[in-house]
Structure 1
Amino acid sequence: MSKKGLLGLLLLALGAVVIGSVTALPQQQPVSDFDIDLPDLGIWEKERMDGGYYTIVDEDNNVLDKTAREVHLDDEFIAANNRHYRVERIKGDTAYARLIMENALADTAPKSAPALLPVQGNNTANNLIAMYHTHSAESYVPTDGTESIPGNGGIYKVGEQLAAKLKEKGIEVAYDKTPHEPHDADAYRRSRRTAVELMKKTPAAIIDIHRDGVPDPDFYYSNVSGEDVTKVRLVVGRQNQNMQANLDFAKEIKAQLDQYYPGLVHGIFMAKGNYNQDLSPRSILIEVGTHTNKRELAEKGAVLFADAIPTVLGISPTEKTPVGALETDKGDRGSLVWLIVIFLIGAGLFLLLSTGSLRGSLDKLKQFSSREWSDVMGSSRGGPAAKTALNKPEDDQQDE
């Protein structure tokens, strides 16, 4: 190959290296940067332990929601009909909320058209969902016989069904079953260590699986697509830097499930507290039914819930293949475009160097099959250089 041909190849290689470094994907925040002990963690992330619960009503005293979670001023929730409310007053077990938006999901469209390729084998981090239980004793009375089983709550069975469905869809699951009893103010401190360990695997999303403590089993009951299930509530912590990203994630999940299984999602509750959701911009807490529901119904609800996760994240290689892609996919496409651009630039520089003038470059481009160009591309297209090597006697090739 001529010196000019070699220079052209070097220019192409240099361009690829430069573009590769410029378009490198943003990395997950290093796990070492996470604070294991947060001063305020556990102060606000509390639930009623006295058997009571809060009823949230609107200005006309119409019941909007019920929850055993501690309700605070400025907590917000998006109801099943997508109406967005904010709590403005609390008196005893009643919280009074005001409507602040008619349709909180107006700008959140479900993904539907199949467009993605299957996840690549070397991109497993983005094909991974992490799961754990902060309140690992939570159970379902009709099935488990009690509302709490330390170290082995019925909630694990619900998590297992969710994990199994995700795996069935080709999604990898990191499911940590570490118990975090007792069910007290420090539970989220203990589960934080579990969540941090899971984040070392760089999952696409991390899910903390719970159930509610509202006494009425009908409050979470639903019949979806002819099947009896419990509803699923999504909870987003208001006091962390990822609040908006996690809320957007929750909205996308609800929009997807509203399309797949109307009536499955009870709503999205934006609660005062962190809930360890500072660890990831795709962190969500879910409540699958309540303690007075049959666990089997909660398991069925979790299985239906699983359908939305890979679709929303853009990582499903089977069944409901999503139209949206992770930013990693966008980055890959961007890199490909830039590599094409740099190839064209390199080819142009090669022609310019080999001819010494713009006119000469244009003449070379018109001919396209010139010897200089064949020196660069010949080996991969069976050009002169390749043919010369192929026509050499076997002994000569071995000597080389």
Structure 2
Amino acid sequence: MGNKDDKDILGNLRRNKESIFIREGFEKELEEKLVRRFTRKNQNKLFVPSLATIFATIVFLLLVVSNDNVFEESQTSTTTDEPLVYIYHTPTHESFFPELEEKDDNNLATAFDKTVNITLLGEHLGKTLESKGIPVLWDDTDYTKMTEEQNLEFGESHNVARENINTTINNHDSIKMVFDIHRDSQRRKITTTTINGEEVAKIVFVISRNHPNYQQNLKFAHKLHELLEERYPGLSRGVYIPASSSSERNSNYNQDLHEKSVLLDIGGVDNTLQEVNRSVEFLAEIIGEILN
């Protein structure tokens, strides 16, 4: 088998393994090391390079199958494919009046949509973080639909999502932060600010006291708020702890499942997707600083 044929094989493997990316120079380094090793042990120098290349191909195949850390499964600068940030949405259909065709701006109950909704914001945050080299697990499970199918009330979507959230966290010890992303029901005057000459949706960090270790979540929320305010004054509306009389007093937003779990209210019913996307881009900077 000649050198050209060997390289063709490696090239085909590369093209057919769409989600795996090889560290630059890996094949050449591996081949050179094997050549040196076999040269010391073999008299037939003409046989050595070809044998080494075959060996390199075999090792390459094994690494592809075993998904060794030499490879990355996403186009990020990280050395791990395990997620550091987990994003989901309970409920799922919360939307924004400016993005909807059928709406009644005076009826908050119409600010919902099955496709143009808060999940687009979670997806944008995930992509923004991944562009910074931070692996993300973004879950767009339709918990609103699941809640309706079980004939449960709107506010019970947190309970509907709990089993899936718990399983995900238990299956990924790498997760450092958990974000349940919502949009607020407040109007534009309260949920909007201007940063660098552009209108941006404000962010609220919501923490439940309905579990023994809520102080851990609270500490994390305050850290996010403080760093965001330091970098972009006015972007954060602060940390909000619902009163015990809240209609959701029996829910802890599943924050007991992870010490750095926070519910984010980003923007309100009158904000545009462009405005809330700007917000998460600023938030992604802060998340990146904390993780790095």
Give the one of 273, 294, 305 matched to 2:283: 305
1:155-211 alpha-carbon deviations (Å, 9 max, x no partner): 111111111111111100000110011461321111112311320212111100000
Q: Which residue of 1 aligns with 2:257?
A: 279
State the SS of the aligned residue for 2:155. coil
User: Shift of the alpha carbon at 1:294?
Assistant: 1.6
1:55-103 alpha-carbon deviations (Å, 9 max, x no partner): xxxxxxxxxxxxxxxxxxxxxxxxxxxxxxxxxxxxxxxxxxxxxxxxx
Q: Which residue of 1 aligns with 2:184?
A: 212
Q: Which residue of 2 aligns with 1:121?
A: 79
- CA 1:251–1:229: 2 relative to 1, 3 Å: same
Contact 1:225 1:261 in 2 (8 A): no
1:215-267 alpha-carbon deviations (Å, 9 max, x no partner): x2121110013221100000001111231000000011011111211111011
Q: Which residue of 2 aligns with 1:160?
A: 123
Q: Which residue of 1 aligns with 2:165?
A: 195
Q: Which residue of 2 aligns with 1:169?
A: 132
User: Shift of the alpha carbon at 1:303?
Assistant: 1.4
Contact 2:266 2:276 in 1 (8 A): yes
Q: Which residue of 2 aligns with 1:249?
A: 220
Higher strand residue share: 1
Give the one of 276, 293, 296 matched to 2:271: 293
State the SS of the aligned residue for 1:268. strand
Amino acid at match of 2:259: P
Contact 1:136 1:153 in 2 (8 A): no
Contact 2:99 2:116 in 1 (8 A): no
User: Shift of the alpha carbon at 1:149?
Assistant: 1.3
Q: Which residue of 2 aligns with 1:180?
A: 143
Question: In 2, Cα distance between the equivalents of 1:205 and 1:148?
Answer: 27
Contact 2:78 2:134 in 1 (8 A): no
Q: Which residue of 2 aligns with 1:376?
A: none
Matched, 1:149 2:105: no
Spell out structure 1 runs of 4+ moving beyond 2 A: 119-122
State the SS of the aligned residue for 1:266. strand
State the SS of the aligned residue for 2:280. helix
Matched, 1:130 2:86: yes
Amino acid at match of 1:266: R
Give 5+ residue unaligned stretches, structure 2: 1-76, 104-110, 243-248
Question: In 2, Cα distance between the equivalents of 1:144 and 1:168?
Answer: 29
Q: For residues 58-77 of structure 1, what are the structure 2 equivalents within 5 Å? A: none
State the SS of the aligned residue for 1:245. helix
Structure with the greater alpha carbon radius of gyration: 1
Q: Which residue of 2 aligns with 1:348?
A: none
Question: In 2, Cα distance between the equivalents of 1:197 and 1:164?
Answer: 23
User: Shift of the alpha carbon at 1:309?
Assistant: 1.3
User: Shift of the alpha carbon at 1:120?
Assistant: 7.0
Q: Which residue of 1 aligns with 2:199?
A: 228
Amino acid at match of 2:195: V
Give 5+ residue unaligned stretches, structure 1: 1-118, 317-400
Give the paired residue count: 193
Question: In 1, Cα distance between the equivalents of 2:78 and 2:264?
Answer: 29
Question: In 1, Cα distance between the equivalents of 2:202 and 2:231?
Answer: 14
TM normalised by structure 2 equals 0.62
User: Shift of the alpha carbon at 1:310?
Assistant: 2.5
Identity between Structure 1 and Structure 2 (%)? 28
Contact 2:78 2:135 in 1 (8 A): no
Q: What's the C-alpha RMSD, in Å, of the aligned pairs?
A: 2.0
Q: Which residue of 2 aligns with 1:335?
A: none
Higher helix residue share: 2
